[in-house]
């Protein structure tokens, strides 16, 4: 904070883990089962920042349940999946 010249500056950070959000970068993909529209993805990111979440998976489905499962599965099972 001191490097910014304002020692009392209150900075919040949200780490966003983006999934498939429709954009120019991926418009050529033909099979996108978990892709959300740009507006849906952006609203979810903004909501996460406004709620001051430490991290957010956007879109939440299926990445939140998948992430939870991967953290609890035995390492051998995860290795076979990747």
Note the residue count of the chain: 82
1: pLDDT strictly greater than 60 = no
Residue-wise pLDDT for 8-37, tens only, equals 778 899 999 988 899 999 888 888 888 999
**Is the pLDDT score of 3 beyond 70?**
no
Count of domains forming the chain: 1
Residue range 45-57, pLDDT digits in tens: 999 999 999 999 9
User: In angstroms, rounded to a whole number, what is the distance separating the alpha carbons of residues 19 and 77?
Assistant: 23
* pLDDT given for residue 42 in this prediction: 96
Residue 30 structural domain: 2-81
Q: Which of 69, 64, 58 lies closest to 20 in space, CA to CA?
A: 58
With 0.85 as the threshold, say if the pTM is over it: no
Residue 2 has what pLDDT? Answer: 57
């Amino acid at each position: 904070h001191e490097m910014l010249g304002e020692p009392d500056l209150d900075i919040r950070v949200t780490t966003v883990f983006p999934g498939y959000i429709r954009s120019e970068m991926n418009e050529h993909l033909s099979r996108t089962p978990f892709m959300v529209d740009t507006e849906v993805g952006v609203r979810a990111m903004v909501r996460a920042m406004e709620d001051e979440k430490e991290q957010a998976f956007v879109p939440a489905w299926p990445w939140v349940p998948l992430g939870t499962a991967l953290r609890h599965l035995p390492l051998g099972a995860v290795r076979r999946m990747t």
